Structure 1
Amino acid sequence: MRTVLLTYEFGAGLGHLNRLIAVAQRLEGCRLVFALPDLALGVPLVRRSFGEAAEIVQGVVWAAPTDPESRQVPTHTFADVIALFGFAELARLEALTARAAALLDGIKPDLIVSDFAPTLRLASAGRVPTVVVGNGYTIPPGGRVLPPMRPWETVVGPRSRAQEGRLLTAVNAVRARQQGAAVDFFADLFQGEYSFPCTIAEFDPYGSARTEPVVWPFNVPVIPEGPPVSDRRGPAAFCYFQGNHPALAPTLAAAGNLGLRAEVYVQGLDPQAVAARCARNVGVHRKPADFAVALPATRVLVHHAGLGTAYAGVLAGTPQLVIPHNLEHAITARGLERFGSAVRVGVSPAPEAGTLARVLKGMLADGDLQARAARAARDLAARRVPDPVGPIAAACAGFL
């Protein structure tokens, strides 16, 4: 039986793991091993999909920066973002590359399927064939220096180029101790023998620089378009946030101030603790909602501009209020604005509850916004590909 290692290293949400699971479900007859950075978050999802048939081990963990000052560091390329995690610090990179190498030695995979996992790519040094999946953000074009990541910028400045050089220097110092081949471009660590960026044009930060085709974002389930927003009978607002979001408190308060039924799910916090902070008109979900059921009935979706959530909201024809607090989410928010179906609120300074409540009430009454959301849903549904995982499964099969 052939062994497939599936892993991701960065990212706080479930989008990376959902993509890996979708690919794994097509790899029949293989031993599946998931190496996860966050076992508490990922194990339930893997078990729900595979039961005990899949193995789960602790993967490589790059701890997210906790210094509030890190959010003030300008991030113009992918290098600027990855450097915030300490990837250019040689001792840390060596230690985590050794951890990745130990995973490879213990699991002995015949194939790696990865999503945002550059350390494992560095450790494997091309010895194990790799198929890479990811969103547009996590797969910059390979074989070249990094392009600007902000779609509204066209030139990379010297600080970002210097940062890319420091990262590449650290990577090649590790590779030299491995006695392996040099890595010519930092972007190449995010490529495999086959790479499949899963995105659509509006959300691809590298669209102007990308030459390979992109794949429909298959980690997003089929979401039916809901009825006209004015006819929907679900919550006036559905709020989906991570527990560390700086605008969580005013968002919960704004939902309570609506005076209409609202629902929330907060990843990473105890539901009872969340409920204690909410008004009586706000229902709290204990687990992630089924978007295919919840969003077509929702009148306004409020979230942090996570990519998978944004896709789902567009497909449901649901107007979205987004509050991005990092660059990836800001890029997603810009993509939503291109559809004309979202309102963006800044996070610095944190918005006040009263401001958010007024914005929400305005969106609930905005017929033009709702019409644009309906048009966006129909446009996106027309682009859907029947089997976007098929080419990825075929690429994997070629190595098994």
Structure 2
Amino acid sequence: MARVLLTWEYGLGIGYVDRLVQVAEALEREGHEPAFVLRDLVSTADFLRGRSWLVLQCPLSIGVLHPTQPSFSPGSYADLLAVNNFADEEQLFRLVAAWHVLFQALQPAAIVGEYAPVSALAAMGRVPYIAMGHGYILPPPDRAEFPIFNPALQRAAPQETLLETVRAVQRRLGGPEPASVP
């Protein structure tokens, strides 16, 4: 029996967890041990009540502009990443390092993440990772940059900044440096 970590970091509501629960149920039927590391333990508590799964709070930065605030209009997925610590090396480093501690404590054989880009970065080269989601939160991986879906909006940070930040964090933690952010 393998422990499989199911992660969710960004976005609101329980739709992300609903999909992860479907994966967890299938994993459990196959004899695996699902464990959750989630953005919001409060809103998902009723949904997960009565389950025997381990459920923990994910590493999360408090005080960062939330992408659903009316004053924020993302022009691309890169903008969402930028306002969620991917444009700040120290903040991203702290979050990735916290994920490493969780991975070390939980020893997952694999990770399934939905809208969980920091856990994906932390797992890179360390733990097999499956990213799931729709096109908005899982942009095409075969591009050098994220598609811009609203060119009229000002970028939160240049996409090159995100890549530089990710590479710097990976260097500090001894992980592989990606060729691109998507």
Q: Report the TM range for the smaller structure's normalisation.
A: 0.7 to 0.9
Contact 1:115 1:134 in 2 (8 A): yes
Q: Percent identity?
A: 31
Q: Residue 115 of structure 1: CA displacement?
A: 0.3
Amino acid at match of 2:45: V
Higher relative contact order (CA 8 A, sep 6+): 2
Partner residue in 2 for 1:31 = 33
Length-normalised TM-score, structure 2: 0.87
- Give the SS at the match of 1:25: helix
- Which position in structure 1 is the counterpart of 2:45? 43
The CA distance in 1 between the partners of 2:11 and 2:67, in whole Å, is 17
Following the alignment from structure 2 to structure 1, what is the Cα–Cα distance between the partners of residues 73 and 11? Answer: 19
Q: What secondary structure sits across from 1:95 in the alignment?
A: helix
2:33 corresponds to 1:18: no
Matches within 5 A, 1:98-109: 98-109=97-108
- Provide TM-score, normalisation by structure 1: 0.41
Q: Find out whether 1:65 has 2:65 as its counterpart.
A: yes
- The structure having more radius of gyration, on CA atoms, is 1
**CA deviation string 1:128-160 (max 9, x = no partner):** 11122112210000131111234xxxxx58964
Matching residue of 1:176: 171
Contact 1:9 1:62 in 2 (8 A): no
Contact kept, 8 Å, 1:10 with 1:62, in 2: the verdict is: no
Question: 1:1-400 counterparts in 2 under 5 A?
Answer: 1-27=1-27, 28=29, 29-48=31-50, 51=51, 53-63=52-62, 65=65, 71-144=70-143, 145-150=145-150, 160=155, 163-187=158-182
1:33 aligns to what SS in structure 2? strand
Query: How far did 1:103 drift?
Result: 0.8
Contact 2:4 2:109 in 1 (8 A): yes
Residue pair 1:90, 1:170 contacting (<8 A) in 2 also: yes
- Structure 1 contact 37–59 (Cα < 8 Å) conserved: yes
The 3-state SS of whatever aligns with 1:84 is helix
SS at match of 2:84: coil
Q: CA deviation at 1:162?
A: 5.4
- CA pair 87-162 structure 1, distance change in 2 beyond 3 A: closer
User: Distance in 2 between the 1:168 and 1:26 partners?
Assistant: 35
What residue number does 1:325 align with?
Answer: none
Is there any run of 5+ residues in structure 1 with no aligned partner, and where?
A: 151-155, 188-400
Contact 1:101 1:123 in 2 (8 A): yes
The alignment covers a number of residue pairs equal to 178
Does the 8 A contact of 2:112 with 2:131 survive in 1?
yes
Quote the Cα distance in structure 1 between the aligned partners of 2:41 and 2:72: 30
Unaligned runs of 5+ residues in structure 2 are none
Following superposition, the deviation at residue 77 of structure 1 comes to 1.1
Against the structure 1 CA distance between its residues 73 and 42, is the aligned structure 2 distance closer, same or farther, given a 3 Å change threshold? Answer: closer
Distance 1:88 1:73 in 2: 16
